[in-house]
Structure 1
């Protein structure tokens, strides 16, 4: 199981603490593998973008109009967090639904 997020994100920290033996990838430092990004976009679409973030608010209209994939490659902090990949399954966020699905 791999958790993609930010090391200074409180939600990612909570997920990392609750999930034992999880590999962590900081998307700001390490980026996200293209195949994982493509799979996440195919599954979650625009929901993968955090349009309530400080990064989003700092973008101009032309930048916001770019395709989601391009935005996430250039601005990885725009991703809603955490993204948890467990084999072929993916979970976005750390709500009760995700915790229940992961038996936490």
Structure 2
């Protein structure tokens, strides 16, 4: 089972979907905004990848936070920020047979999907 997580209007999501389709990989798309995310899923993914990988500090949503929200981050604070603002989660996240990848890199996708 392969699931791609993200936001439908993201250019990188579109590239990942197009690549998966072109490589005949069946997948389910989970849109954070439409389908939501829960703390159980996000905590599990954080344990697999780390909050530093998941939290998008470059995006507008994170940059617009007050300094007190951005200072002294740890896993639980980062998870809460991402639950409150799913746009802060880096994307896409690919889950294939309980293996997780964050971002889109063809070589990494090929490795995970062919394992």
Compute the TM-score of the two structures, normalised by the length of structure 2.
0.80
Q: Which residue does 2:103 correspond to in 1?
A: 93
Q: Which runs of 5+ in 2 are unaligned?
A: none
Contact 1:55/1:77 (8 A) holds in 2: yes
State whether residues 92 and 98 of structure 1, in contact with CA within 8 Å, keep that contact through their aligned partners in structure 2: no
Matches within 5 A, 1:1-104: 1-19=2-20, 20-45=25-50, 46-65=52-71, 67-101=77-111, 102-103=113-114
State which structure, 1 or 2, has the greater radius of gyration over its C-alpha atoms: 2
Task: Please report how far the alpha carbon of residue 30 of structure 1 lies from its aligned counterpart in structure 2 after TM superposition.
Answer: 1.6
Pairs aligned (count): 103
Q: Please tell me whether the aligned partners of residues 4 and 32 of structure 1 are also in contact (alpha carbons under 8 angstroms).
A: no
- Could you list the structure 1 runs, at least 4 aligned residues long, displaced by more than 3 angstroms after superposition: none
SS at match of 1:8: coil
Report the RMSD for the aligned CA atoms in angstroms: 1.6
Indicate if the aligned counterparts of 2:38 and 2:83 stay in contact, CA closer than 8 A. no
